[in-house]
Chain A
Amino acid sequence: MNARLNVTFSGQNGDLTDPILYDATDEEIRQIAEEAIRNGSIPGIDRDEFASLEDFVVDRFPAGAGVTENRLLVRPKTPFGGI
């Protein structure tokens, strides 16, 4: 099952041109996104060879009513407090 990968980084946002597996792990998805930013293959996000998506998380949105494709969104984590 494929999904479209959307990434937000450095104030920019874009979709990876090729679909990826919806069932990939969060770590795999982060690595794919990070590598794509480093080689400049996400339209809308400037190439950054030192890009790091450490502490970014993956939101999963399966296809459903009104949405024809599975979507994976990589964005910064937002928790506060804790240890």
Chain B
Amino acid sequence: MELNETGLVFDAKGQTLYWHRPLDRSNRCLPDSRELWDVLWENRKQLGGVAHTHPWVGAALPSQTDLSTWRAIEKGLGRLLLWPVVTFSEVRCYGWNPWAKEYEDVTKHVDLTFDVGMLRKLSGQFSEVEKLVLIAQDGGDIGNALLKSMTIPQGPLQDGTVCTKCGKDALEMVQHLVGMPGAIVCTSCGHKEGYYAHIGRNIVTVTPLRSSDPDTE
């Protein structure tokens, strides 16, 4: 799944005003955008701030570009905003300290919430189960990209599950199509139980998902 920096403009209560997902964004930057400026200007009276992702696991620290952009936008709007930085493992909020004349971490003083979960998802973070659901639903470019990072084993299913149609312990994992999730097929009656992909040492059926499947997280 592609990782991309994503922006979220929110109001003073943390409610989403605008998702910033320009076509020319990358996993390392959100380019300058007149469209984003227009959104900020039009909503300037109700603005709370702008969050953006650094789509990796690690400390949520601003870049020099972030700092200079924050300052420029605040000079343009004539007011101060909240500037959250969101990684896949951390959220930190920054605000301008007019006495120190620098941005500082104000996370512990922030009492509003914004849509961190969706922001991370739009940046490319999905749980292993969500990835598998995407594979089953898509089967195209997204599915293929995700499958490249997964192992598709073959052979008898050895978790004790029996065929839901004939009841026999004859389920087998079969490579259905190259680049697609494997299928779980009964070698006795031919019934197809569903699709699966390998997650670490666990095996999960994707479609349909079964309650007896081992925990994937």
Q: Return the contact of B78 from the options A12, A79, A81, A83 (Cβ within 8 A).
A: A12
**Chain B, Cβ-Cβ closest to A10:** B78
User: Contact: A76 with B37, CB < 8 Å?
Assistant: yes
Stretch from B10-18, B26-34, B114-122 forming part of the interface with A: B26-34
Most chain A beta carbons < 10 A, residue from B64, B72, B73: B72
User: Contact: A81 with B41, CB < 8 Å?
Assistant: no
In the assembly, what is the distance between CA of A76 and CA of B69, in Å? Answer: 8
User: Contact: A81 with B28, CB < 8 Å?
Assistant: yes
Residues of A within 8 A of B (CB): 8-13, 52, 54-57, 59, 75-83
We find that the number of chain B residues with CB closer than 8 angstroms to chain A is 30
- Is B52 among interface residues, defined by CB-CB distance under 8 A? yes
A47 CB to nearest chain B CB (Å): 14
- Is B71 among interface residues, defined by CB-CB distance under 8 A? yes
Number of CB contacts from chain A to chain B under 8 A: 86
- Is B76 among interface residues, defined by CB-CB distance under 8 A? yes
**Chain A, Cβ-Cβ closest to B83:** A80
User: Contact: A80 with B72, CB < 8 Å?
Assistant: no
29 contacts between A and B (CB under 8 A): A9-B75, A10-B75, A10-B78, A11-B76, A12-B78, A13-B41, A54-B72, A55-B68, A55-B71, A75-B37, A75-B76, A76-B37, A76-B69, A77-B68, A78-B30, A78-B36, A79-B31, A79-B33, A79-B65, A80-B29, A80-B30, A80-B52, A81-B29, A81-B30, A81-B54, A82-B29, A82-B63, A82-B64, A83-B64
Assuming the contacts A10-B78, A11-B44, asked whether A78 and B73 have C-beta atoms less than 8 A apart, the reply is yes
B160 CB to nearest chain A CB (Å): 49
User: Contact: B76 with A76, CB < 8 Å?
Assistant: yes
